[in-house]
Structure 1
Amino acid sequence: MSDEGITLSSSTKGGHSANVQHTNTGPTTSQSTEVVEDASELLFPDEFKDAQALLIAEVYSLMKMNETARENDNEFQLPNEVFAKTLAYTDKFARFKKHDTINAVRNHLMTKKLHKYEIAALANLCPDTAEEACALIPSLETRFEERELEAILTHIQSLISYDK
């Protein structure tokens, strides 16, 4: 049986990020496993390598389709508590809800040189300015000029304005 130590520390870029180190401190292993996670540097564990980051709006849309399908079934079933709470959360925090808007925002962001984490974070948080985007998503600060980020954000806001 092995023990795993986790070290948390806030660091870099004004304390806006957190580093997480998983270190295998098991009894007698010839290799020590060390994985450093740092979203500000776009460092994620291997298990997230092929994972797709969903937008809150996408989760909301999928859950609404599931709810509609369930309502159309002959056997009516009340959703469980977790489903109901998650649906309420996504309804509250999804910044846009129409399928066309969801697709347009994701497609626009995918045309930029953004990491899948940055795509989800930008679409979910919808920052108003490049400065706010860099404060919320530190990896953007070193990868984009302010005017590039402003253009991306302005386009997202214009797409969302049609969702109302």
Structure 2
Amino acid sequence: MSGEEEENAAELKIGDEFLKAKCLMNCEVALILEHKYDQLQQMSDDPRNQVSQVFEKSLQYVKRFSRYKNPDAVKQVREILSRYQLTEFELCVLGNLCPETVEEAIAMVPSIKVSCAHFLLWCL
């Protein structure tokens, strides 16, 4: 993003590198970290495999703010939201925040009002 442009998530001005990046919802990160945590616990005899405090706090955070716990539900949420030509950023914000109305979704992610009429129809 050039120095002249100001970042604005409402207009999806968040930088090309971020727009092209693969984003993960909190529930997806929770599944990944839980899997890694289980692996580390199985190898707990080795002191090099101890779980760091940062890792534990990260896992606690994403678990606390994950709306979906079941791996099948997590996959289904991404599949459904992927149908509506959302950017990764939009998809993850909506997947994390779970708006209950169209108005709430637009307030959280204003860019979907312009870019995603199909999504808005699905919400109705």
Normalised-by-shorter TM-score class: 0.7 to 0.9
Q: Could you tell me the TM-score, scaled by structure 1's length?
A: 0.66
Structure with more of its chain in strand, by fraction: 1
Name the structure 2 match of 1:52.
22
Per the TM alignment, residue 148 of structure 1 is displaced from its structure 2 partner at its CA by 4.5
Query: Greater relative contact order (Cα 8 A, min sep 6): structure 1 or 2?
Result: 2
- The one-letter code of the counterpart of 1:122 is L
Per the TM alignment, residue 130 of structure 1 is displaced from its structure 2 partner at its CA by 0.5
Q: Could you tell me the TM-score, scaled by structure 2's length?
A: 0.85
RMSD of equivalent CA atoms: 2.2
Name the structure 2 match of 1:26.
none
The CA distance in 2 between the partners of 1:150 and 1:83, in whole Å, is 39
Per the TM alignment, residue 47 of structure 1 is displaced from its structure 2 partner at its CA by 2.4
114-123 or 48-57: bigger deviation = 48-57
Q: Residue by residue, what CA displacement relative to the aligned partner does 1:105-140 show, whole Å, maximum 9, x if unpaired?
A: 101111112111110011000010011111111112
1:36 alignment partner, SS class: coil
- The one-letter code of the counterpart of 1:45 is G
Matched, 1:75 2:46: yes
Q: Residue by residue, what CA displacement relative to the aligned partner does 1:43-92 show, whole Å, maximum 9, x if unpaired?
A: 22132243111100011000000000011114264311111111111111
Identity of aligned residues (%): 32
- The one-letter code of the counterpart of 2:36 is N
Per the TM alignment, residue 22 of structure 1 is displaced from its structure 2 partner at its CA by 6.7
CA contact 2:27–2:62 (8 Å) conserved in 1? yes
The CA distance in 2 between the partners of 1:75 and 1:110, in whole Å, is 41
Which residue of 11, 18, 30 maps to 1:41? 11
Matched, 1:119 2:83: no
Matched, 1:103 2:75: yes
Structure with more of its chain in helix, by fraction: 2
Per the TM alignment, residue 99 of structure 1 is displaced from its structure 2 partner at its CA by 1.3
If you compute each CA radius of gyration, which structure gives the higher value, 1 or 2?
A: 1
Matched, 1:140 2:115: no
Change (3 A) 1:68 1:102: same
Structure 2: runs of 5 or more not aligned: none
Structure 1: runs of 5 or more not aligned: 1-20, 24-33, 155-164
